[in-house]
């Protein structure tokens, strides 16, 4: 048994477990009850976070490579904001980058 992943987010732990399982690496989630208790997560230290263990220690490097790839994809999705299309200010008609919440020219808040 070897620890390959831990996160305060239980869903991430399940995604990693399924990712490893899909690649033929048997994995188990531990501490999965930890954030079923309302508000409990805020009192939980990292050593009690939901954790993913694999039973075959010899595949740890392979498992960690898959997880690294998964985390890279996850952060790539988060940075998609910078590739969203620009928006046009309803007041002055100026074009603004997707990341701007107010018009750079006249200060009008963005409309959704
Ligand atoms: Zn404007």
Question: Rounded mean pLDDT of the chain?
Answer: 86
In a domain, 108, yes or no: no
More confident position, 60 or 72: 60
Counting the structural domains of the chain, the total is 1
Question: Residue 59: its pLDDT value, please?
Answer: 97
Residue 101 Cα to ligand 1 middle (Å): 11
**For residue 76, how far is its CA from the centre of ligand 1 (angstroms)?**
30
List of E strands, the chain: 2-6, 27-30, 51-54, 87-88, 95-96
State the pLDDT at residue 37: 55
**pLDDT above 60: residue 92:** yes
Residue 51 lies in a domain: yes
Q: What is the CATH number of the domain that holds 44?
A: 3.30.70
Average pLDDT, stretch 76-81? 63
What is the DSSP annotation of 29-98?
Answer: EESTTGGGSTTGGGG--GGGS-EEEES-GGGHHHHHHHHHHHHHHHHHHHGGGGGSPPEE-TTT--EE-T
Tell whether 102 is covered by a domain. no
* pLDDT greater than 60 at residue 42: no
What's the CA-to-centroid distance between 112 and ligand 1, angstroms?
14
What is residue 79's predicted lDDT score, i.e. its pLDDT? 63
Looking at the domain assignment, is residue 106 inside a domain? Answer: no
Please report whether residue 18 resides in a domain.
yes
Residue 41 lies in a domain: yes
Residue 68 Ramachandran class (φ > 0 left, ψ -120 to 50 alpha, else beta): alpha
CA of 102 to the centre of ligand 1 (A): 8
Q: Which domain range does residue 22 map to?
A: 2-80
Contact (Cβ atoms closer than 8 angstroms) between residue 53 and residue 2: yes
- Tell which wins on pLDDT, 51 or 45: 51
């Amino acid at each position: 048994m070897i620890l390959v992943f831990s996160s305060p987010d239980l869903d991430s732990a399940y995604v990693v477990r399924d990712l490893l399982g899909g690649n033929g690496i048997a994995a188990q989630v531990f501490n999965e009850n930890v954030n079923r208790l309302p508000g409990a997560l805020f009192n939980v230290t990292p050593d009690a976070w939901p954790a993913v263990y694999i039973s075959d220690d010899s595949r740890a490097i392979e498992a960690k490579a898959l997880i690294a790839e998964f985390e890279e994809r996850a952060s790539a999705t988060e940075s998609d904001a910078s590739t969203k299309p620009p928006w046009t200010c309803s007041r002055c008609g100026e074009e603004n980058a997707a990341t701007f919440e107010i018009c750079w020219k006249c200060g009008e808040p963005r409309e959704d």
